[in-house]
Amino acid sequence: SAVISQKPSRDICQRGTSLTIQCQVDSQVTMMFWYRQQPGQSLTLIATANQGSEATYESGFVIDKFPISRPNLTFSTLTVSNMSPEDSSIYLCSVEDLSGRTGNEQFFGPGTRLTVL
Amino acid sequence: AQSVSQHNHHVILSEAASLELGCNYSYGGTVNLFWYVQYPGQHLQLLLKYFSGDPLVKGIKGFEAEFIKSKFSFNLRKPSVQWSDTAEYFCAVNAQGNFNKFYFGSGTKLNVKP
């Protein structure tokens, strides 16, 4: 299984500022995923990040608000731009397990807990 | 779009009690089903998964889940819980044609009293 780390683990930010979250994986992976978990709610996929191409965003999420970089096969960043209190959430990075079987499971990072004041 | 429902948001049990957490999904095609667990202060980790074959799936730490296709359900069970099972449990689904996209339920917080 992949080992995933995220930085920062938590942050408290002011309204209108931006925060970049880093995700590092201990092995090369094709696809990386960014999720949001708002208080009391389920995990929601923000976007899928492939190395060498632009990220694919889910409905309700846009690149201007959540720009993503994927410079290589072990690293990705998610930026939360022009933050508002509604962006307070846990942001999780995940990767898929390409074990050769169908229905790939995903491995998750520890998450970044963001509070916007 | 697919959706996943977990009807129990918060469950409190005493040690040795039996556990059943409900999970229902909405999708008519072929799906893969997962239960993830998040212990306090730890990552989400896979508890068990169903891809095909025997609908009764056994996972780690004595957990099992049964896939009932006719009911679109994948309930999680454990005959006798321990205090260390205190955690949040998430049901998840991905669907044929888009196995990369996971849909998660809202989670169930389980508190086991010693």
Query: Mind telling me how many Å the CA of A110 is from chain B's nearest CA?
Result: 5
Fold of B3-113: Immunoglobulin-like (2.60.40)
Give the list of residues 6+ apart from residue B98 with CB closer than 8 angstroms, or none: none
Average pLDDT over residues B23-52: 90
Task: Lowest mean pLDDT of A56-60, A104-108, B31-35, B44-48, name the range.
Answer: A104-108
Measured CA to CA, the distance from residue A63 to residue A48 in angstroms comes to 12
Fold of A4-92: Immunoglobulin-like (2.60.40)
Percent of chain B with pLDDT over 90: 71
A111, B45: Cβ pair inside 8 Å?
Answer: no
Which of B43, B49, B102 is facing A45, going by the closest CB pair? B102
Closest A-chain CA to B39:
A110
d(CA B39, CA B45): 9
**Number of Cβ pairs < 8 A linking chain A and chain B:** 47
Taking CB atoms and an 8 Å limit, are A40 and B102 in contact across chains? no
* Residue listed under structure tokens 């321990």: B82
Structure confidence at residue A101 (pLDDT): 53
Q: What is the pLDDT along chain A (117 residues), one digit of tens a residue?
A: 778 999 999 999 999 999 999 999 998 888 899 999 988 788 999 999 988 888 999 999 999 999 999 999 999 999 999 999 999 999 999 998 765 554 467 889 999 999 999
Contact residues of A toward B, CB < 8 A = 4, 31, 33, 40-45, 48, 92, 96, 101-111
Calculate how close chain B gets to A47, using CA atoms only, in Å.
10
Residue A102: what pLDDT?
A: 47
- Chain B residue numbers touching A95 (CB-CB < 8 A): none
The β-bridge partners of A96 are: A106
Segment among A51-60, A107-116, B13-22, B56-65 with least mean pLDDT: A51-60
Burial B23-42 (b: 16+ CB within 10 A, else e): bbbebeeebbbbbbbbeeee
**A108 → chain B, closest CA residue:** B44
Distance from CA of B9 to the nearest CA of A (A): 9
* Cα distance between residue A112 and residue A116, in whole Å: 13
Q: Where are the domains of chain B?
A: 3-113
Cα-Cα-Cα-Cα torsion B90, B106, A39, A36, nearest 10 degrees, comes to 70
Q: Which residues of chain A make contact with B44, given a CB cutoff of 8 A?
A: 92, 108
CB of B4 closer than 8 Å to CB of B103:
yes
**Which residue in A31, A42, A108 is closest to B100 by CB distance?**
A31
Which residues from A are below 8 Å from B102, CB to CB? 43, 45, 106
Read out DSSP for B40-85? TTS-EEEEEEE-SS-SEEE-GGG-EEEEEGGGTEEEEEESS--GGG
Of chain B, the percentage scoring pLDDT greater than 70 comes to 96
